[in-house]
Amino acid sequence: MRCEVPGRGQRLGGGIGYPSDRLFEEVAYIAYHFHWSHEQIMRLEHRERQLWVEEIAKINRRLNEEMQVEIGQYGVP
């Protein structure tokens, strides 16, 4: 959802009423993992940004599971 904010042009990223601390978490999470700029992330629609957060979480879970298997096979160095 994009809307006009008087005097400020177009508002990006949607999510009116969305908690700002949650928005900051999403932006930081995506920026950290994908190295996208703040502007790129804020241009995403709210739902698309959430989908990217979910995909990053899946990648992290899979990597953590693989790491646990390796540790189990070879022991902790």
Q: Give the residue extent of every domain in the chain.
A: 3-74
Mean pLDDT by 10 residues, the chain (77 residues): 43 67 96 97 96 97 91 73
Dihedral angle over CA of 34, 37, 38, 44, nearest 10: -70
CA atoms within 13 A on the CB side of 23: 16
pLDDT reported for residue 18:
82
Res 12: pLDDT: 54
Q: Which residues pair with 4 in a beta bridge?
A: 10
Asked if 46 contacts 14 with a C-beta cutoff of 8 angstroms, the reply is: yes
Tell me the pTM.
Answer: 0.68
